[in-house]
A = this chain, B = another copy of it.
Amino acid sequence: MTALIGIDWGTTSFRAWRMGAGGEVLDRVGDGPGILAAAGLPGGFRQAMQDRIGSWLGTAPVIASGMITSRNGWIETAYLPLPLDAAALAANLTLHEGIHFVTGAVSDPDGPAPDVMRGEETEIIGHLSGGGGDGLFVLPGTHSKWARAEGGALTGFRTVMTGEVFGALRDHTILGRLIQPGPGSEDAFRRGVEAGRQDGALLGRIFSARTLALMDRLAPDQVADYLSGLLIGDEVAQGTRDAGGSVTIIGRGDLALRYQTAFAVLGIAARIAPPGMAQRGLWEIARMGKLA
């Protein structure tokens, strides 16, 4: 029997789960259209959802999180302030067209560097609800999120544009001209992390990706990994300056491993969370909200 249908709907991704009475996953769907693609379909978000999980609908409440509640999503909802826990997210669900939408979080809204997230808060709640404990969390991506949880609540976070900056530097600056594709070099990545952790002067360090290559001290097929290491090394060194307690990477595949390597180079043990954090967070928020 289906107890809950959960959707993690991001800018470029759609994942959904059909859950049983204990929150266990009965069925799952991935690879649906993200909000950018779905918004352009005839029938829009409703049709996109119908296409992917139509056979599930009507059997249980539906809860959704992610960029689907942003200005370009299905309905725009107001951000919630910190500290933020599952109860507060449950108390602020927005029911719209039969779907319970989980809103996002805002950090330091009146300060010099306000920040926002939609979706990652649910993944962190998923981690906490599973007994994962407080600490520092990194969700690597085009825009990485660095978040801190204390007392079972999200208490701070920052968006770090590492992935997108890497792409812009590689594709649209002189640093890209010497890059040749290669099989991937963990050694070059580690060298970059070592260089990038140095002193925070990233703008004055990245040029070394060019000079080292010009001096034949970095092979053309290693430049991209070195540059990636420079950026991630800077990100991790800055993000852990005041770190104490456990560090958890919420992410998948090569990128999560790459971050784990960077932490290791800096002498910090970081564990990669098991998969399913978004689904577990949706379950927890629905349970708190008495939907499931």
Contact = CB atoms under 8 A, between A and B. Distances in A.
A139 B52 CA distance: 57
A247 interface: no
Interface stretch (A129-137, A165-173, A252-260): A165-173
Interface in A188-243: 194-195, 198-208, 211-212, 214-215, 217, 231, 234-235, 238-239
Given A164-B174, A173-B164, A204 B239 contact: yes
Which one of A109, A194, A195, A205 has the highest number of Cβ atoms from chain B below 10 Å of its Cβ?
A: A205
Given A172-B171, A212-B114, A207 B160 contact: yes
A1 interface: no
A73 to B, nearest CB: 14
Contacts of A114: 208, 211-212, 215, 217
B203 A160 contact: yes
A204 B238 contact: yes
A40 to B, nearest CB: 17
Contacts of A159: 204, 207, 211
Interface residues of A, number: 46
A158 B204 contact: yes
A143 interface: yes
Nearest to A212: B114
Contact of A115 (B115, B173, B207): B207
B200 A113 contact: no
A231 B202 CA distance: 10
B203 A203 contact: no
A161 interface: yes
